[in-house]
Amino acid sequence: MKVIGVTRGDDGPQLLERERPSPNPGEALVRTLRVGVDGTDHEVLSGSHGGFPDGADHMVLGHEAVGVVEEPNGTGLEAGQVVAPTVRRKPDGETNEYFRRGEPDMAPDGEYTERGIVGDHGFMAEYFTSPADFLVPVPESVAEYGFLVEPLSITEKANEHAYATREPFDWRPESACVLGNGSLGLLTLWMLDQEYDRTYCVGRRDRPDPTVDIIDEIGSTYVDSRETPVDELPAVHEAMDYIYEATGFAPHAFQTVKALDQNGVGVLLGIPEPWEFEVDGGSLHNEIVLHNKCLIGTVNSHVSHFEDAVETLQELPEWLLDDLVTTVTDPEHVEAAFEDGDDQIKAVVEFDSL
């Protein structure tokens, strides 16, 4: 079967051939429909994040997938059922306390593998196998965009954890800001715009630009960080009740604290490379303590977040889905999905259709 992978010593996606997998007991065989490409895939290719399966000379890419159950294999799933796979798996097939309690997304390094990212082959193949417990049903009506369930689940978890920090008191947020105008940032911006009075999105793009057009259409305010740095948001616009960071730009973690309003919360999702710079630690500490601010980090997601993401996917407006997906290509022309120009928002590799 055809797969898209990266081989040791290379930094680009390659069309490879592998044998079609056979499901083990408790696993289903899934025929892949579409796989999305995101920033993590680029980091895996460059070697700045993730790692190959032990002893393998290549790794199949892709962690944002949607497919159709080809062989249920006694799992209770039905042939023809559309599903989206979660990403984390048990290391070496051995369970641990995080998987036993249904929280693999909270496991530390070494206590998991991630399909297509670290230690395990991904979903960018004509077929893949997965334990049924890690396959989340997706309605056929949104199967075309089912690859967005995984990124949406990341935001479902981030919001859940951020809001949980405010539960002990009567928190009444009105303003939210997304740092980053990539596909994840734009999806999140739409989600936040449904519940906040005022929303903002920070980027570094000149108009005209397709991502800025989406921000405008959502009804949010676009902020060019070259003109208004994050820590100047309160002076130029307003202090934010909630800030969602999706840039991986290390200074944003500290600027977020300054940009938050009293009782505000910021959530960090970006993964920057090592970067040393000066920070006024005393002022940072005082901002957090004296104004009841909170800053948390989050990574990955699990079944409950995927299920919430499926609900959100069904609510997304058609115009947003159309504008968000800028490239759909087949495995033979996969290079187009990994191009990184200003008019590329969300790229998809299509293996099959319903």
Length of the chain: 354
Q: How far apart are CA 93 and CA 112, in angstroms?
A: 9
Confidence (pLDDT) at 278 = 95
Confidence (pLDDT) at 213 = 98
Is the pLDDT confidence value at 276 over 90?
A: yes
Asked if 175 and 199 touch (Cβ cutoff 8 Å), the reply is yes
pTM for this prediction: 0.97
CA angle 81–82–84, rounded 5-degree value: 135
Q: How far apart are CA 241 and CA 174, in angstroms?
A: 7
Confidence (pLDDT) at 219 = 98
Q: How far apart are CA 188 and CA 274, in angstroms?
A: 26
Closest CA to 32 of 59, 68, 62: 68
Contacts 24+ apart (CB under 8 A), 101-105: 102/302, 102/303, 103/302, 104/300, 104/302, 105/157, 105/299, 105/300, 105/301, 105/302, 105/305
CATH 3.40.640.10 fits 2-137+317-350, yes or no: no
Residues 140-199 have pLDDT tens digits of: 999 999 999 999 999 999 999 999 999 999 999 999 999 999 999 999 999 999 999 999
**Does residue 171 sit in helix, strand or coil?**
coil
Q: What is residue 133's DSSP assignment? A: G
Confidence (pLDDT) at 205 = 96
354 CB contacts (<8 Å, ≥6 apart)? 33, 68, 82, 140, 143
Closest CA to 236 of 223, 246, 249, 245: 223
**Domain coordinates in residue numbering, the chain:** 2-137+317-350, 155-297
Residues 89-141 have pLDDT tens digits of: 999 888 899 999 999 999 999 999 999 999 999 999 999 999 999 999 999 99
Confidence (pLDDT) at 93 = 81
Q: How far apart are CA 322 and CA 341, in angstroms?
A: 18
Q: How far apart are CA 176 and CA 241, in angstroms?
A: 6
Is the pLDDT confidence value at 238 over 90?
A: yes
The neighbour count for residue 184, using CB atoms within 10 Å, is 24
Q: How far apart are CA 56 and CA 120, in angstroms?
A: 10
Q: What percent of the chain has pLDDT over 70?
A: 100
Strands 135-137 and 82-85: antiparallel
Confidence (pLDDT) at 216 = 98
Report the chain's mean pLDDT, rounded to a whole number.
97
Question: In the predicted model, what is the mean pLDDT of residues 62-66?
Answer: 98
Query: What CATH code is assigned to 155-297?
Result: 3.40.50.720
Could you list the residues known to form a binding site, using ranges: 40, 114, 150, 181-184, 204-205, 269-271, 298-300
Could you list the residues known to form a binding site for NADP(+), using ranges: 181-184, 204-205, 269-271, 298-300
Confidence (pLDDT) at 92 = 85
Is the pLDDT confidence value at 259 over 90?
A: yes
Could you list the residues known to form a binding site for substrate, using ranges: 40, 114, 150, 300
Q: How far apart are CA 98 and CA 105, in angstroms?
A: 8
Confidence (pLDDT) at 94 = 86
